[in-house]
Structure 1
Amino acid sequence: MEIHLAFKRKLGFVDGSVKKSTTDEKYAAQWETCNNMVISWLHNNITDTIKRSILFINLASEVEKQLEKRFMLTNGSRKYKLSKDLFSLKQKELSIDDYYTTMSGLWEEIESMTVLPPVTTVNAKITSLLKAIET
């Protein structure tokens, strides 16, 4: 979904970086149209049960925050299941291509769930880590 939004140049509505104009009515109206289009795309890509929980939110960025908060809670159990699936994966009758693709998909999904904190200040520990990585 993120790729689709970026391709359509609408990712800013979801991450909140594109703000509604308070000075120009024409731009404000265009912003409303794009915001509603993004909300519609989001609604069309989720189940009806989840859709009911965000149905009356009028900002795409708020919809994203609500969905992120909702799914952040389930990421731990999802990550556990993926790790378990990866551990129990066996090639058996799969071709090497199918086996590798399945394994890579599990690795990539697990990796995408691992969010590292941003580095905001450089201290002695970070400097020594960077030096160790360079050697």
Structure 2
Amino acid sequence: MTGKDDFLQSICTRLDGKNYTYWGYVMKNFLRGKNMWGYVTGTKAKPSMPQTENFDMLLDAWETDNSKDITWINNSVTQSIGMQLAKYDTSKEVWNNLERLYTQSNFAKQYQLEYDIGALQQNDQSIQDFYDAMSDL
């Protein structure tokens, strides 16, 4: 696989709003493996000193890598979630927004989870499938 094709590569897990914890784990490891996690955490900060030697080149490289992160994240979320991310310019903003949206602890979410767990039935599922469904909740 060439470097050009590598730009399009992403993870197989798609964030659908219910699987943030697992998606975040997989995406974080994917970005770490690409040496791109620093754009999400902010440790690879956008160059801000125009008088610095090679500033234009450094800024261009940062914007390219930041855009790769955003593209990889967008390629791993549902379209409705991706559309909400269009207003953010940095992968750090994108990540922070997703984290804020899907890790909130609130009573409505807790009620929904308790309801879903109570309503879950094995029916004709195998024990393993039922266990997996329960674990997902």
Pick closer, same or farther for the CA change 1:84–1:44 going to 2, 3 Å: same
Q: Return the offset for 1:69.
A: 3.6
Identity of aligned residues (%): 32
2:130 to 74, 93, 99: 99
What is aligned with 2:115? 84
Scaled by the length of structure 2, the TM-score of the pair is 0.58
Instruction: Name the amino acid aligned to 1:14.
Output: V
What is aligned with 1:35? 66
Instruction: Name the amino acid aligned to 1:64.
Output: W
Q: Return the offset for 1:14.
A: 1.4
Unmatched runs of 5 consecutive residues or more in structure 2: 1-26
Measured against aligned partners, the alpha-carbon deviations of 1:62-120 in whole angstroms (never above 9, x if no partner) come to 222333344456865344322222222222322111111111222xxxxxxxxxxxxxx
Task: Give the superposed CA RMSD.
Answer: 2.8
Instruction: Name the amino acid aligned to 1:30.
Output: A
Hey, what's the Cα distance between the residues in 2 that align with 1:102 and 1:61?
32
Measured against aligned partners, the alpha-carbon deviations of 1:25-66 in whole angstroms (never above 9, x if no partner) come to 344432221101111222333444444443243211122233
More helix by share: 1
Scaled by the length of structure 1, the TM-score of the pair is 0.58
What is aligned with 1:11? 37
Runs of 4+ residues deviating >6 angstroms: none
Number of aligned residues: 106
